[in-house]
Amino acid sequence: TREEMLYISLNKSKVVWTETRKSRVRPLSHDINIHLEELYRTHLEQREANPDDKELLKKKYHMEQFREISFYGDTAELVNSKGQRKVAKRQALDGLWIEYAWSVTNAALHIKINRVQIDNQLDYTMFPVVLYPIISKATGTDLAEKSFIELSVYESKTSRSNVMQFKYFKLLIQEFAVKIDQGLIVAILAFLREEKSAIAPTINMDTDLEQIQKPLDAIIKALTDSPTGETEMYFDNIHLSPLKIHVSFSMHGSKASQELLAEYPLVAFLLQTLNVAEVQDVILRLGFYERTHDRYTITKLSNEVSSHYQNQFMKQLHVLVLGLDVLGNPFGVIRGLAEGVESFFYEPYKGAIEGPMEFAEGVATGVRTLVGSAVGGAAGAFSKITGVLGKGLATLTFDEDYKISRIRRKEPATHATTDIAVGGKNVVMGFVDGVTGVVTKPVSGAKEGGASGFVKGLGKGFIGLVTRPTGGIVDFASTSLDLIKRTAQQEEVVRRVRYPRHVGRDGLVRPYISHEAMGFFILNKLEDGKYAKIDTYVAHITCSDNPPSWLLATSKRLLFITEISFLGLYEIDWRIEYEDLKEEPVVKPNLNQIQILTKESKKTGTLRSTRSFGKMVKYRNISEARVK
């Protein structure tokens, strides 16, 4: 079967207040944005509370920098103390912005990419989001929204030389996070792996034949001007920004075969080196690259840039060692505490410059940041240590299915209460699985390997009787401490932009359909992926929104699924095998229901279900019901 591996998206920024200067849209400063947004929301609340009050349309507001502010829809008119007027618009900045200007002698290119996000679309993954920008706390008070990537190039043209001349070439990349696990690395290597062909290798001589047709003096001139045959470039100034990268790595996921690793020895060495422990939120700082008045070819420039950043990376290896989870990431704890102390002194100082009220706000902000950094750093350290202990206990069960289901449950939920509830459920299920495993493991082992399989299963069962309940308690502690860390440090959980694409049984990649992707996602989540292993998603319909429920058709059965929102889980209410159907399901338009009849009376679901000859399922869309 095929599955989507990565999804790269260019997204708009958050909604901010902007002004237009010389045909360019620029966001207002961070402080003005916050205060203006608060006034705007107050204005909307008053309008909604008093819809017939016409005076509210003309109401004037004020803030420190502006004596008069008026709102007209998503537009605000600002008047400062000198009587100067400025118009601000509330909007999201475009994900991709390109400006190109040229003349006979010059050309300028300016590119802005607001937000790039790369999602891991594999089902079994530790990190659903691979790459995303991070809003730095240190620069968060400058502009409301900064472009993640910004490129500015100015070229000077001349007809008397074949050398491209750049007055300046500047690339800026903001702080970002990279989170990757072994499963994704293996999938990428397998995707890039060349198919070995039994056909004898051939040599392409087209380039040599083209050279034969050229005059000798033309070939000599080309080699003299540029020995490699590449276009030369002269830079008055080239500047590539420093990089600040938050790195996380996990050994979870499918393991690479020895044959695959033999083709990529460097990757094999790194995987073996990092197999000791995991790395979470380690910051690498790579210095900037800058050259002035120098001549390059593309090959020379790319080699020099890659060599520069590789050397910078090697200087940061100590950070990786101090960031190991087994040590609790002490480097991260010290870094967080240092940022808290800096904020504790800087925020009151910044407020004192503006006024006494701002000084009080600065003191409160500084204390909150310091306490959050201290508490969050300590909780995060203990969370990482208990997480490593939980991984070790899961390994001791010698049960791959249990290890996979454990990873599926570790993704942070939307709400804190859901995280706690799921953690408590996992503790209970750890005890249940440990007890039932004493019986089920020997039986499944006997089916697969006979007498020796029975003995192995018996061993797994008794080991699981201890390790599974203990692992559930340890994982609950790790999840709770991580929740404390995220709350104290006000971290934002970044989620996938969309559900992974559904690829049918024929393996053909078709245009993305969000409805199918959602059904495929639900099937993968059912009972820790149990049905996704043996069934193939076919279709589904939405039956109700409260509680959310669906009728899902797979290659083998019909499933009626209900979402338990509090736990963030999907539960099968009942299921009917196709072989038990008396006839094809019938749509009843007058009742807005689908009639599903079975051959004989039987229990079709959980204990709540009664014996019946079928089911009546409500639907919302008749065209959707008929197709399914």
CATH code assigned at 577: 2.30.29
Structure-model confidence comparison of residues 350 and 593, the more confident one = 593
DSSP string, 146-207: --SEEEEEEEE--TT-SSEEEEEEEEEE--EEEEEEHHHHHHHHHHHPPPP-SSPP----HH
pLDDT of residue 252: 75
Amino acid at 360: A
Query: Above 60 in pLDDT, residue 489?
Result: no
Packing angle of the helix pair 356-396, 330-354 (nearest 10 deg)? 170
In a domain, 227, yes or no: yes
Structure tokens at 170: 């500047």
Question: pLDDT grade, residue 608 (50/70/90)?
Answer: very low
Q: How does strand 232-240 pair with strand 149-156?
A: unpaired
pLDDT of residue 131: 93
Query: Above 70 in pLDDT, residue 426?
Result: no
Query: Above 80 in pLDDT, residue 302?
Result: yes
In a domain, 522, yes or no: yes
pLDDT tens-digit readout, 329-381: 454 545 555 555 555 454 444 554 444 554 455 555 555 555 555 555 555 55
In a domain, 201, yes or no: no
Question: pLDDT grade, residue 109 (50/70/90)?
Answer: very high
Q: Identify whether residues 446 and 407 lie together within a single domain.
A: yes
Q: Identify whether residues 74 and 107 lie together within a single domain.
A: no
Give, rounded to a whole angstrom, the gap between the first and last alpha carbons of the chain: 23
Is there a contact between 381 and 482 (Cβ–Cβ < 8 Å)?
no
- Alpha-carbon Rg for the chain, nearest whole angstrom, is 31
In a domain, 500, yes or no: no
Question: pLDDT grade, residue 491 (50/70/90)?
Answer: low
pLDDT of residue 581: 84
Q: Identify whether residues 383 and 274 lie together within a single domain.
A: no
In a domain, 499, yes or no: no
pLDDT tens-digit readout, 462-483: 677 666 667 666 666 666 666 6
Question: pLDDT grade, residue 141 (50/70/90)?
Answer: very low
Q: Average pLDDT, whole number, for the chain? A: 75
pLDDT of residue 150: 92
Query: Above 70 in pLDDT, residue 440?
Result: yes
Most confident of 481-485, 487-491, 559-563: 559-563
Question: pLDDT grade, residue 607 (50/70/90)?
Answer: very low
Q: Identify whether residues 453 and 541 lie together within a single domain.
A: no
From 57, 92, 127, the end of a domain falls on 92
In a domain, 205, yes or no: no
Query: Above 70 in pLDDT, residue 285?
Result: yes
Query: Which residues have a Cβ under 8 Å from the Cβ of 380 and sit 6 or more positions away?
Result: 281, 329, 332, 333, 336, 481, 482, 485, 489
Packing angle of the helix pair 356-396, 416-488 (nearest 10 deg)? 120
Q: How many domains does the chain have?
A: 4
Most confident of 158-162, 239-243, 335-339, 593-597: 239-243
Q: Identify whether residues 169 and 299 lie together within a single domain.
A: yes
Query: Above 70 in pLDDT, residue 434?
Result: no
pLDDT of residue 599: 78
State phi, psi for 86 to the nearest 5 degrees: -140, 135
Tally of residues, the chain: 628
Q: Identify whether residues 414 and 544 lie together within a single domain.
A: no
Query: Above 70 in pLDDT, residue 195?
Result: no
Structure-model confidence comparison of residues 107 and 317, the more confident one = 107
pLDDT of residue 167: 92
In a domain, 30, yes or no: yes
pLDDT of residue 240: 93
Q: Identify whether residues 114 and 73 lie together within a single domain.
A: no
Structure-model confidence comparison of residues 606 and 173, the more confident one = 173
pLDDT of residue 363: 52
Q: Mean pLDDT throughout 322-330?
A: 48
Q: Mean pLDDT throughout 236-259?
A: 83
Most confident of 98-107, 326-335, 450-459: 98-107
Give 493's DSSP letter: P
Q: Identify whether residues 232 and 115 lie together within a single domain.
A: yes
Q: Identify whether residues 164 and 28 lie together within a single domain.
A: no
Strand partners, 76: 71, 88
State phi, psi for 534 to the nearest 5 degrees: -110, -15
pLDDT of residue 166: 92
Q: How far apart are CA 394 and CA 471, in angstroms?
A: 7
pLDDT of residue 320: 63
CA angle 465, 608, 444 (to 5 degrees): 30
Is there a contact between 572 and 535 (Cβ–Cβ < 8 Å)?
no
What SS3 state is found at 127?
A: coil
In a domain, 384, yes or no: yes
Share of the chain above pLDDT 70, in %: 65
Query: Above 50 in pLDDT, residue 328?
Result: no
Structure-model confidence comparison of residues 260 and 377, the more confident one = 260
Q: Identify whether residues 115 and 226 lie together within a single domain.
A: yes
From 76, 92, 108, the end of a domain falls on 92
pLDDT of residue 261: 73
Query: Above 90 in pLDDT, residue 144?
Result: no
Question: pLDDT grade, residue 140 (50/70/90)?
Answer: very low
Q: Mean pLDDT throughout 39-65?
A: 85
From 283, 303, 323, the end of a domain falls on 323
Share of the chain above pLDDT 90, in %: 9
Q: Identify whether residues 383 and 465 lie together within a single domain.
A: yes
Question: pLDDT grade, residue 239 (50/70/90)?
Answer: very high
Q: Identify whether residues 100 and 73 lie together within a single domain.
A: no
| Residue 292 lies in domain | 96-188+211-323
